Amino acid sequence: MSAEQKKEETPKVEEKEVKQPVEGGNDEEGEEAGGEKKMSKAARRRARQRELKAAGLLDNAGNPDNEDESNPYPKVGKTFIRQTWPEPTIPVSKQFPKNGMPKGEECEYVLDNNTYRITSEEKRAMERASQEEIQELREAAEVHRQVRTWAQSWIAPGQSLMQITDRIEGKLETLIGKDGIVRGQAFPTGASINNIAAHDTPNTGDKRLLGEDDVLKIDYGTQINGRIIDCAFTWHQNRRYDPLVEAVKAATNEGIKQAGIDVRLCDIGEAIQEVMESYEVELNGKTYQVKPCRNLSGHSISPYIIHAGKSVPIVKGGDQTKMEEGELFAVETFGSTGRGVVYEDLECSHYMINPENVNKPIRHDKAKHLLGHIQKNFSTLAFCRKWLDRQGQNRHIMGLNQLCDAGIVDRYPPLCDIKGSYTAQYEHTILLRPTQKEVLSRGNDY
């Protein structure tokens, strides 16, 4: 899920002033996890071919199709097979060997006292120890990339937000190999339009359609064993929004560039703001300087916890806490033509258990039963009302409200800038590995 909202300000709004690098699938052999038996490269490749053939994933000639020029996915490599197109159908776990998931973008640390890391034997040993986590994150990131490559090929005006989110969620489940809370969606698919910056997804019965002049933020997450990839992009068709969208993309990339071990969070926020505010966008003859939404921020992530405690601000004046080795962060920025402040509005769709209050006593039977369902299906991950309906919990609203009123579940309503404004978002998940920073969700789209 994207944005974390700062609690201190929820302004009332009355004014009406506004009228790269890596696509999944590098050809490298995955590093063997420590202690695993060593095979020669050729032997590994033959073993892999046998495995793929047995799984029915190779054509008669023993090759997956490399000929289709319209297929945007990487061509088959020595150790992986190509995703199908126009309908991706192969789970990512079947495309790549377990220890050879495609890497994200790797960046050396730039702070003077951290340049030794890339060659440090000690730091390399630490990375081998966390191979399993890294591979799970890379697989989740590859699912994210493949799903969005596909979604970007068909999202168009006239479609309903319900169709768009349903299709994304269905494809995500196929490519990740949905398995309860072990593999699947990390939070509801954000489909937030125009002045709505984040945390909107259709509830059952929502009839809203995507319009030609809309700016749509698509924000979904993937998770494997609780290792979460949180990554988002902005869809728009009308070219007049290009500068707004470019501003936000550049600001997010600036945040990613600045991030690193021992870097102060406040310094990242300041750099993001400077880049964002260097852009202007003209709409209906009026020029707007792009403003960061100052009460939204990126966040640290821990297993099954989307907001793990640290915030990555997108304006100056943030706190001086530093990023640390091993941490996972969602770096996300929001730009706006409105006030640059969001407030909670509209019908709530996103909900999440508050782990601190989950053991509070509940009197109502319905609420108790619903809580059991939520714990079993979502654990501490965010969920939405549509998902409850489809799991047979279609009379959930009273129980859900009781859980919210008891503080056991929290509501995350849509976060909006003023009416008539437009907001954009870009987001990536980065891992501060001991030797290098890895932009896990980087693709050749953004």
Catalytic residues: 219, 230, 299, 307, 332, 427
Q: Report yes or no: 424 and 244 within 8 Å, Cβ to Cβ.
A: yes
- CB atoms inside a 10 Å sphere around CB 204: 14
Q: C-beta of 315: minimal distance to Co ion in Å?
A: 17
Q: C-beta of 218: minimal distance to Co ion in Å?
A: 13
Nearer to Co ion by C-beta: 193 or 330?
330
Q: Report yes or no: 92 and 139 within 8 Å, Cβ to Cβ.
A: yes
Task: Give the C-alpha separation, 116 to 366, whole Å.
Answer: 57
3-state secondary structure 177-213: CCECCCEEEEEEEEEEECCEEECCCCCCCCCCECCCC
Nearer to Co ion by C-beta: 272 or 330?
330
Site residues, Co ion (CB under 5 A): 2, 230, 330, 332
Q: C-beta of 259: minimal distance to Co ion in Å?
A: 14
In terms of DSSP H, where are the helices of 226-362?
242-258, 265-276
Q: C-beta of 2: minimal distance to Co ion in Å?
A: 4
Q: C-beta of 230: minimal distance to Co ion in Å?
A: 4
Q: C-beta of 324: minimal distance to Co ion in Å?
A: 19
- SS3 assignment, position 110: coil
Q: Which of 223, 28, 23, 27 is nearest to 105 (CA)?
A: 23
- 145 token code pair: 């990339």
Nearer to Co ion by C-beta: 214 or 332?
332
Task: Give the C-alpha separation, 328 to 429, whole Å.
Answer: 7
Q: What angle do CA 116, 121, 125 make, to 5 degrees?
A: 120
H or E element in which residue 129 lies: helix 121-129
- CB atoms inside a 10 Å sphere around CB 287: 10
Nearer to Co ion by C-beta: 187 or 279?
187
Nearer to Co ion by C-beta: 96 or 235?
235
- 124 token code pair: 């390399």
- SS3 assignment, position 120: coil
Nearer to Co ion by C-beta: 139 or 230?
230
Length of the chain: 446
